[in-house]
Structures are given as C-alpha cells and as structure tokens.
Chains A and B, each alone.
Chain A
Amino acid sequence: MKKNIRFLGLLAFIWGILPLNSSGQQKHALHGIIKSKKTGETIIGASISVVGTAIGTTSNEYGFYSLSVPAGPHTLLASSVGMKSAEIKISIAKDEELNLILEDGSQELDSVTVSVSTSGRSLSSPQMGIEKINIAAIKNVPVLFGEKDVFKTMQLLPGVKSVGDGNSGFYVRGGASDQNLVLLDEAPVYNASHLLGFFSTFNSDAIKNVTLYKGDMPPQYGGKLSSVVDIKMNDGNNQDFSMSGGIGLIASRINVEGPIQKDKSSFLVSARRTYVDVFLQLFGDSTIKKTKLYFYDLNTKMNFILGEKDRLYLSGYFGRDVLSQDELTGINWGNATGTLRWNHIFNNKLFSNTSLIFSNYNYNIHSNSTTTDFHILSQIRDWNIKEELQWYLNTAHTLNFGANFINHTLIPGEISVSGGPAQGLENRYSLESAFYANDVWRISNKWNLSFGARLSVFSILGAGDYYEINDDGEVTDTIHYKSGEVVKTYTNVEPRISASYRLNDISSIKFSIARNSQNLHLISNSSSTSPTDKWIASTNIIKPELANQFAIGYYRNFNGNNYEFSSEAYFKTMANQIDYRDGAEVFSNEPIETQLLFGKGRAYGIELSVKKKQGRFTGWINYTLSKTERQFAGINGGSWYNARQDRTHDIALVGMYQLNRKWNLSATWVYYTGDAITYPSGKYTVDGDVYFYYSERNGYRMPSYHRLDLGATKQLKKTKKFSSEMNFTLYNAYGRANAYVVNFQESETDPDKTEAVKTSLFNFVPTISYNFKF
C-alpha cells in the first residue's frame, strides 16, 4: 500500500513538472475562435501551431482553440482540410485573444490541381480508431440514387461494414448495428435510416463535420459499445444569404441559410423529400397506385453570438417515413430532436459547453380491415442535460471533464386490438448518468498519452412491474415499483487509455485500451434493419452490455503527406449480449425477458488503408480481415458460432479524378464475403407438408458481394453568385446480382426437389441529379 502511494506520488510529480522543463520563459495563453471567411462557420479540428516549436493544438467542436505561447515574436500557422493555410505574425507579451479566419481552399481557376486536405490523419495524436469525413470530399463519391449520403460513404471506410444493399445500417469492428451511437448536434438519433434503410436521415447540405470513433472513443462519449458517429451541423452563414439544393430522381432537397444579424447571428433551414410514390403511381398497377411511400427531413438551426464569451445555439431535426398500402394499412416512423447549447469561455484556458437535449423516436403500425383492427406504437423519449469543460492547462496537458444525465422513457410496444383498451408492455423509465475526466498529455516530442475514464451509472426506475424468471423463461415472481422508486442501479467504470509514439517525422505507432457499456438494446428478428425492431432498456434481468477493446496501429506518410498508410489491429470481447430464444414471439405482452437469451461475443481483425490526398487523382483503398463470433447457452448447442455480421474480407476502392475544369469522374468498387447465414441441413414432413431442419446457426455463407459504381459530375455554371452542376451515377455498373436474401422453396420444374433461390435488387441503377448554389 505504501509502495503504491509513493509510486502515485512520483507519477504526479513527473506529470506536474515535465511541462516546466521545456523552457524557462514566461508563457502566455493565446485563445480564440477560428472561422471561415466566406460563411462565418466555425472550423472544427483546425490545426493551429507555433512555427518552429512543438506547440500546437486543434480547434474543438465549436471552433475554440487555446495555446500556451512563450513571450516574444512568433509565426502562427493555421490550417484545415479544404481551406487555405494562413500564417499570422504575432508578438506575445501577455494573455491574448486572437480570432482566426481562413479562406476556402478552392480550386484555382487556372489549373486543375485540387488539394483535398493539408491536415489529415494525425501521427502524433494518441487518438486511434478515428475517421473524419470531409463533407466536401465526399461530394463526388457515387452512391445509390445519386443522393450524397454520409452513411453510405462511411461504409467505405476501414473497419466499417455495410449491412447490405441499399441499407444504411452499419457494423463497426464486428459489433451489431445497434452498438453505434449516432449524434446529430449532440442529440442521439435512434433510427438513422429512411425507407427501411435505403437512405440515411442526414441531409448532407446541412452537415459541417462527421467524425467516427471505432470503439476507443474518448470518455466524453459513452452509451454504445462499438462506435460513435458525431455529426455536427453547419451553424448557418452569418455573412450572406445563401441557398443551395438539388433535384434528383428520387428526392429533392433545399438548403437556405443566412444572417439574422450579420456577424452576430444566423439561421439555417434544410429540407428534403422523396417522391418515390409518384413513380409508383406512374408505373404500378391499380393496387400499387393507392400506396403511399415517402419520407421527409427537416433540419433547422439558429445561433446567436452574445458578446465575446458566449454563444447560444438552438437546433432541431424532424424526419418521418410513411409507408402505407392503402388507407387501411400502413406504418410510419420518425425521429424528432432538439438541442439548446450554450458555449461559455470562462477565461483563455477554460471552455464550457452546456447542452439541453430532447430526442424522440417512435413508430406506428396500423391495420384497419373489416376483420381485424390493430394499432402498435413504440417510442423512445430522452431528456438530456450535459456539461462539458475543456481546460487547456498548459503545453503538456489538455483536460476534458464533465457530466451527462439522460432520462429515458421507453414505450416498448403498446398494442390496441379491435377497439379494445390499449394493452401491451409497460412503459420503462431510467436515468443514465455519466461522469468523465480525461487528460491528453504531451509527455515529450515522441510520446503522447490520453488517459481517462468514464463512470457510467444506469438507474432503472419505476413505476412498473419487474419480474424474476427461471431458466425456462417462465415468470416466477412479479414485483411492483412505484413512480420514481429505484429498481436497480448498474455502475460501470470505463477506462479509456491510448498512447502514441512518434518513430520519426513520417511514422508513428499507437495503442489503446477501452471499455464501454451499453444500456439500450435493439432486439431484432429480421434480416434487415426494420423499424419494428424493438429498443429496450436494461432491467433487473437484462444487464448492461459490456465491451473491452485493445488495439494497436502503425501509421506512415509517403511522398510528403500525399499518401497516408494506416494499419490497425483490434481485439474485442463482449459480455451480456442479447438474442431472441428459438420460437420467440416478437409482439407479445409477455415480459420481454422471457423471450431472450444472454451470451458473449468476441471480434478481432486487422484494418489496412492507403489514401491519396492530393493531385488530380485522389482516393483510397481499404482492406479489413476480421472475425466476429457469439456464444449463447441455448443457441447452436452452446458452441461459438459466427455472428450474422461476420465477414472475413471487406475491400473498398474509391477513386476520384478531376478530368478538367468541368468534369470530375469517380468510381467505387466494393467486395465483401457474404454474411454468415443459417441454411437447412435436412428436411422432413409434418402434417403432409415439407419443412426444413436446421442444425448449425450461421454455419454457411451468403454468396460474396461485389459491385462497381461509376459517377460523373459536370460543372455547368460557376460565377461568384451562382454555381450549378449535373451529377450522373450508375450504381452496380456491371450488374452483379448480389444476393439480398436467399430462400428455399419447392422447385418449379420438379416439385419433389427443393432448391435455393436468391433475390437481388438494384442492378444497373442510373440516376441524374441537378445541384445548385446561390
């Protein structure tokens, strides 16, 4: 015990004293906000450094930066992806505020070289498993139906796998599709897909920045095991009015933004609607004509700069999907989120963000016919208050700490039948709290360390009935709790540690250890993300899911910073994983715990990636080799089996070529091993009909998936006031009939034989869209 105290004391001494060793000079704090000249938008992740020293930082999610600079004259270098770097001469004698402005790094009119990014993946930063998506760069990546889609593009990144054709769900490092936390301006979005997964809910016109963390996220994030997708919306041009939009074959969108008071406040409104139903009217037969099939998205935002130290943001998102067969039967679902945020700069080193967040996701299924009449409603409603503090202590330490409280109300499936009273599972209430602290410590020029932890406390609250269940899934006891009474509290400490070692100017190695817990679980019984998948919270029986992930990586830049090579290997163990029992009833008013089984998971793999960032030709190649398995007593005889999302190989090639001033060509090729799937191993007869017998769970593979997409964009007009372009896409250019689902049925030619039939969608889908900007 005494030894431990002495060791800790020594560590604290080193921690405190190291920065002072670097120079005997007096240091002053330099802070400010970095913005774009053209739109006034704050710039996230801009690199700001003092030339000739090791002093540097990156701007935070609100464009704030803070540096400890020694007294005297210096040159400050500020740069960011897609912007022209700026050099500013400064002379420091005391603490100062210096706001920085960067100009767009747009294509020079005389030549065709395009600089995609100047500051990309950082070799020194200890943060691993991170991918930043540059919204401007993904503009030309061809996607299904020509809709520029952040999620579809994310599926082209290493370690990220697409759920399937047309689906915008994704798996990260072997985790299930509900293990990804999707945040839109801090608000969680529970179902980020439209039309059963064919489109995502994010209108790219309104998005500023997308960052993906693959499991080793810093402690300010928590709540999901596998990843965090942090999406930040544009604030709204506070210099000039601007309007942009696009007209496509499936959907159209429009974006309007402008200042409310120039330099001080601005607004942004972005809307998108599809008109697939119009096409069905034209081509379908009489039954299809009555079908309604549409979705819409609306993003709204306002922000106000209240003096030098304060800024207020109010944002909202509303989206809905409607699918109905006729007036009688239909399903609709959607998300609504609202955030109110207050940035406050306490002093030149301490930045605070306080957020009040509301998020609501629900789906409605209704079926009224002459014989039966039922209505199902399922909903998650969150009220969330969050406080984050960032303390740029000195050159060596940047501290980040805060707290987060979310009140969840889940209506897991209220059913009313034939005009009778609404019955179903009870509402569930819970309070998810978290406290975190993190230090990014620049130990030396070679070593950087980020260490911290998140304390997650999940309290299950009444009112409600909670149960005791035996091994066969039968209820043995029911306990009633009053409103506000605590049923159970789960506490988890989640350490997040990562370090980087700079080998030389162009390469580094990193490693990380992270633990995550998850208390909201999506129980799914279908092969594609369907809105009828159920979200449930942990209960006295359903424990929080846990994951431990270890990762190491090697990174190297080639040819200046033009080529980036990254490799990361990971190993992840998961506990308290959930699945349905065999023969479980998805819609029933039995307690959900009677239909579930619990088990473990493990995933490991290696991700390799090469990116070319500059020149007329840019793009990337990714290859991931991986395995994901699960083990449950009661499934597959208790042996380890492949998870559905297990895919041995996953390859993505993306290339974009600026042909001349008017034309940009692009192509994407993806290949992945088919999903693990359960095929019958025998058949038998019962009551005169033939049925299939299954022995191994997920013991077979769907056929491999591969596809080539081609795209071309032609710049039509480009003046200072107006620009427009036409975009052509050909999805699945060589028409590979990838298997969407495989069914077994009687052969049409020989009824005595059974055969396997694959259904594939989307061969040769061409699209045209027209985009404009004022």
Chain B
Amino acid sequence: MRVIVKLILVSFALGFYSCKKVIDIKLKATDIKYVIEGIVSNKAGDCKVYVSKSKPFNENNDFEKVSGAVVKVSDNGVEVALSETQAGIYQTNLINGTPGHVYQLTVSVNGETFSASCTLPQPVGLDTLYIAPGPLGKFQFANIAYTDPVGINNAYRFIQYKNGVKDPAIFVQDDKFADGQSVVTRLDTGVDKEDDPRNINSGDEVIIEMLTVDESIFKYWNSLRSAGGDGSTSTASPANPVTNIKGGALGYFSAHTVSQRMVIAP
C-alpha cells in the first residue's frame, strides 16, 4: 500500500513539472531594416553613431555594418559632420555633450533619411555601490543608491560590467514614484543557475555605469525590455520598442551623462 501511495505521489509530481523542447518554426522573409545607435555623452568629445542592418531570424549573428552613410549631429543647432572611423562606426570629437543642450541626428544612407532629437539631462551620480546576496540567498547582485533631484523628471539607465564584460540585462528607472527621494535598488540580472557565467562570484570586479537619460530613451529601453525584445518574456503581444528615430529605422539616439563606480565582490 505504501509503495502504491509513493508511486502515485511521485508520478503526480512528475506530471506537475514542465518540460522544454526546441521546435521548428518557418518564418516568413521580411524587409531588412537599418539599425542606428547614436550616442552623445557628457564625456569630452564622446559622440558616435553605429549604423548596421537587421538580419533574417535563422541566419547567424554576424550583422552587416553599413558604410558610406552621411551622418551629422547638431548641438543646439550647430551642425557637425561625423566621419567613418571604422566600418559602420561614425565619430567626431568636436561635440562635447553638455547638460541642457538639444542634440539632433540625421543619417542619410541609400536614399533614405532618418532623424532624431534628444536633450542631454543633468548629471546624477551613484552614492554607493555594494554587492550583496539576493532574496533567495544563493546569488549575489549589485546594489546601488543614489539621490533623485526633486522637481525635475529624471530617468536613469544602469549598465553592469563584470570583469570587463557587459551583462545583457536592461535596467531603467524613472522617478515617478520616488521624486526627490534617496533610492536604493538591487540590480537583479535574473540569473538563477549556479553555473551561469553571468553570476557575480567572489573576487569579481563589478562596474556599474549610471546614465541619466531623456524620457524618450527611458521609454526605448523600457519597451525593449518589456515587449519581448529579447524573446524571453511571456508578454501577450511582443512588439518593437518605441524609438525616437523617425524615418523607419530601428535603434535609438541617446544624449546622456555617464558616471560609474567599481567594487570587488566579497
């Protein structure tokens, strides 16, 4: 009798767990899109634009870089042409990102023109950075603290580098519920396996970059993360992120301030 009961309980438990399997999907061919990443930061002379193309889903991840585009960035109306320093990368050191200035980007390639506009916000830096165990006690995560300036709409993006390697998790926050307050947050990358290479282990060097971003850029990263852009969320209707680039290109144009802190994980 006991054996039967045990067998039943075990078979029931097996039935309860889920299983995963790779499946074959036939996807329809689609238009190739231009992808533009434009960055102006408050570091002296930091202004670069990456232009590439999208690819069909089942090809490899070697994305085509686009050369020969005409790229211009203007700083409060003063226009500067960027030169292609490497394939698909356009730079200039004549633009010094200044908080409060309005930056505009135009990219012309193969008869198509894309444009975007972005305002560089005021800088806000990290007060503290420390590594602490997460809620389940098993994994460690970066925890940060900063003070949000009161009375202005602020938005932030945090990027984690572990031993020089960028973690793919997207962290964005705005101050809608915390205007003027001291904010403490755990940057939970979502790792849940012991052997995950993204885990923060003892002795790892962790750098957190804090960017203050424009409202449109907050919306871009937030919608990229929550609308299933990386295919991992179970949202009902995955959609493309809300971009500030006009003309039909993917990507974004961000004018932001950067600061960082570093800590060695205990």
Quick check: which of B49-57, B71-79, B91-99, B107-115 contacts chain A, the rest being far away? Answer: B49-57
* Contact present for B22 and A680 (CB under 8 Å): no
Q: At the interface, yes or no: B23 with Cβ under 8 Å from chain A?
A: yes
Q: At the interface, yes or no: A756 with Cβ under 8 Å from chain B?
A: yes
Given A423-B177, A678-B239, A684-B33: A583 in contact with B226 (beta carbons within 8 A): yes
Q: At the interface, yes or no: A560 with Cβ under 8 Å from chain B?
A: no
Interface residue count for A (Cβ, 8 Å)? 84
Which B residues are in CB contact (< 8 Å) with A695? 30-31
Nearest Cβ on chain B to A549's Cβ, whole angstroms: 25
Q: How many A-B residue pairs have CB under 8 A?
A: 214
Q: At the interface, yes or no: B32 with Cβ under 8 Å from chain A?
A: yes
Q: At the interface, yes or no: A525 with Cβ under 8 Å from chain B?
A: yes
Which B residues are in CB contact (< 8 Å) with A754? 57-58, 61, 231
Given A287-B136, A689-B168: A678 in contact with B185 (beta carbons within 8 A): no
Given A682-B54, A682-B55, A693-B240: A527 in contact with B235 (beta carbons within 8 A): yes
Which residue of B14, B229, B237, B242 is within 8 Å of A697 (Cβ)?
Answer: B237
Which B residues are in CB contact (< 8 Å) with A687? 37, 166
Quick one: which of B217-247 are within 8 Å of A by CB?
Answer: 219, 222-224, 226-232, 234-242
Given A678-B238, A754-B57: A767 in contact with B135 (beta carbons within 8 A): no
* Contact present for A744 and B54 (CB under 8 Å): no
> Which residue in chain A gives the minimum CB-CB distance to B250?
A684
Q: At the interface, yes or no: B3 with Cβ under 8 Å from chain A?
A: no
Q: At the interface, yes or no: A524 with Cβ under 8 Å from chain B?
A: yes
B1-19 vs A, Cβ < 8 Å mask (1 yes, 0 no): 0000000110111111011
Which A residues are in CB contact (< 8 Å) with B55? 682-684
A679-706 vs B, Cβ < 8 Å mask (1 yes, 0 no): 1111111111111111111111001000
Which B residues are in CB contact (< 8 Å) with A688? 166, 168
* Contact present for A417 and B30 (CB under 8 Å): no
Which residue of A325, A744, A765 is within 8 Å of B231 (Cβ)?
Answer: A744
B23-60 vs A, Cβ < 8 Å mask (1 yes, 0 no): 11101111111010100000000000000111111101
Nearest Cβ on chain A to B69's Cβ, whole angstroms: 16
Given A693-B54, A767-B12: A525 in contact with B37 (beta carbons within 8 A): no
* Contact present for B181 and A686 (CB under 8 Å): no
In Å, the complex CA distance between A417 and B184 comes to 12
* Contact present for B237 and A678 (CB under 8 Å): yes
A722-751 vs B, Cβ < 8 Å mask (1 yes, 0 no): 000000000100000101111111010001
Which residue of A418, A678, A693, A757 is within 8 Å of B21 (Cβ)?
Answer: A757
Which A residues are in CB contact (< 8 Å) with B232? 743-745
Which residue of A328, A372, A582, A681 is within 8 Å of B185 (Cβ)?
Answer: A372
* Contact present for A694 and B19 (CB under 8 Å): no
* Contact present for A418 and B178 (CB under 8 Å): yes
Which B residues are in CB contact (< 8 Å) with A758? 20-23
Give the one of B31, B56, B239, B250 with max A CB within 10 A. Answer: B239
In Å, the complex CA distance between A739 and B185 comes to 35
Which A residues are in CB contact (< 8 Å) with B16? 279, 761-762, 765
* Contact present for B33 and A583 (CB under 8 Å): no
In Å, the complex CA distance between A70 and B32 comes to 81
Q: At the interface, yes or no: B198 with Cβ under 8 Å from chain A?
A: no
* Contact present for B8 and A768 (CB under 8 Å): yes
* Contact present for B15 and A764 (CB under 8 Å): yes
Which A residues are in CB contact (< 8 Å) with B222? 583, 585
Q: At the interface, yes or no: A329 with Cβ under 8 Å from chain B?
A: yes
Which A residues are in CB contact (< 8 Å) with B193? none
A523-547 vs B, Cβ < 8 Å mask (1 yes, 0 no): 0111110000000000000000000
Quick one: which of A550-598 are within 8 Å of B by CB?
Answer: 579-580, 582-583, 585, 588-589
* Contact present for B57 and A372 (CB under 8 Å): no
Nearest Cβ on chain A to B6's Cβ, whole angstroms: 11
* Contact present for B231 and A759 (CB under 8 Å): no
Which residue of B27, B31, B37, B234 is within 8 Å of A679 (Cβ)?
Answer: B27
Given A372-B185, A692-B238, A699-B28: A755 in contact with B22 (beta carbons within 8 A): yes
> Which residue in chain B gives the minimum CB-CB distance to A682?
B54
27 contacts between A and B (CB under 8 A): A279-B9, A279-B12, A279-B16, A283-B13, A287-B137, A325-B135, A372-B184, A526-B235, A583-B239, A678-B237, A678-B238, A679-B25, A679-B27, A682-B54, A687-B166, A691-B230, A692-B57, A693-B30, A693-B33, A700-B25, A700-B27, A744-B232, A756-B22, A757-B22, A759-B19, A764-B15, A765-B15
Query: Taking beta carbons and an 8 Å cutoff, which residues of B are in contact with A?
Result: 8-9, 11-16, 18-25, 27-33, 35, 37, 52-58, 60-63, 132, 135-138, 143, 166, 168, 176-178, 181, 184-186, 219, 222-224, 226-232, 234-242, 250-252
Beyond A328-B135, A372-B185, A688-B166, 4 additional contacts (C-beta under 8 Å) are: A329-B135, A526-B234, A684-B35, A742-B25
Q: Which 6 A-B pairs have the closest CB atoms?
A: A583-B223, A744-B231, A765-B15, A681-B30, A684-B54, A583-B242
